[in-house]
Amino acid sequence: MNPEFKKHLLKSLIDLEQSLQHAASKEALDARASVILALKSVILFINSISRLESQTLAIPLVRLLSALDGLDKGQQEPLLTPTQFGNRPPEPGNRAVIKAYSVFATGCLMRAPYKGKLDDACKFVAAILMDANIPSGGRANTPYWKTVKGWRSDRSRNSKQFTHTYNALSNECQYPETMPLGEIKKSLKILLPAVVKRWSTGLG
């Protein structure tokens, strides 16, 4: 590798890292702005490498950036228009995954040796989700645990992502009937980040 190119590439990677860190720091305040900053950073990196720029490899990302900018102006590009299934809009994949985890977790608590109450199970799962800063997506005046409880009765209307995640959890995380309730709760707390990470990296 050409020494000058190697030096340039290293600098570009360092700049990219710093830019992405800056974008990530904005996520909690404005998720869309954070994504836009991250996209701009990647586009800038691609175009800083002549070999990549000459192939116009950044074009798909530029189109996505333009579509996201349009949302701030009240415009929705076809690129960001969700596919419609019947009269019901599709549920975001991450929301379906969280619902599947919640239904699975409450079911595990209900099957525990002492057969806990549904409301208590939903409150425990809601507490895990709140600790992870995951919004319920429910009505503002509805307690989080009641939203979780509603997900259990809404299973038949959920997406393929919900079904896939729920079935995977049921197959991979089978707790023995003799397992103490405290151990089940501890395991469920550890399980949530793993489930979210697995989905976000495309392994779910």
pLDDT tens sequence across 18-38: 999 999 998 888 888 899 999
Is the residue at 174 inside a domain? yes
Q: Are residues 131 and 165 in the same domain?
A: yes
Q: Are residues 184 and 97 in the same domain?
A: yes
Q: Are residues 112 and 33 in the same domain?
A: no
The single residue listed with the structure tokens 């596919």 is: 83
Nearest to 42 by CA among 7, 26, 18: 18
Q: Which domain holds residue 66?
A: 3-80
| H helix runs in the chain, sequence order | 3-25, 31-48, 50-53, 59-71, 93-110, 118-131, 144-153, 160-172, 181-200
Q: Are residues 139 and 169 in the same domain?
A: yes
Nearest to 21 by CA among 38, 33, 4: 38
Q: Are residues 62 and 103 in the same domain?
A: no
Computed from CA positions of residues 44, 49, 50, 54, in that sequence, does the dihedral angle turn out positive or negative? negative
Is the residue at 86 inside a domain? no
Is the residue at 88 inside a domain? no
**The model's pTM:** 0.53
Is the residue at 118 inside a domain? yes
Over the stretch 85-137, which tens digit does the pLDDT of each residue have? 444 444 556 778 888 899 999 988 887 666 668 889 999 999 988 888 777 77
Query: How long a stretch of residues is the chain?
Result: 204
Is the residue at 85 inside a domain? no
Number of domains in the chain: 2
Q: What is the pLDDT of residue 180?
A: 84
Residues in Cβ contact with 58 at an 8 Å cutoff, skipping those fewer than 6 apart: 42, 43, 46, 47, 52
Nearest to 8 by CA among 61, 50, 59: 50
- The CA distance from 27 to 35, in Å, is 8
Last residue of one domain, picked from the residues 30, 58, 80: 80
Last residue of one domain, picked from the residues 80, 115, 140: 80
Q: Are residues 179 and 98 in the same domain?
A: yes
Is the residue at 67 inside a domain? yes
Single-letter amino acid code for the residue at 120:
D
Q: Are residues 135 and 109 in the same domain?
A: yes
- Phi first, then psi: give them for residue 85, nearest 5 degrees: -115, 100
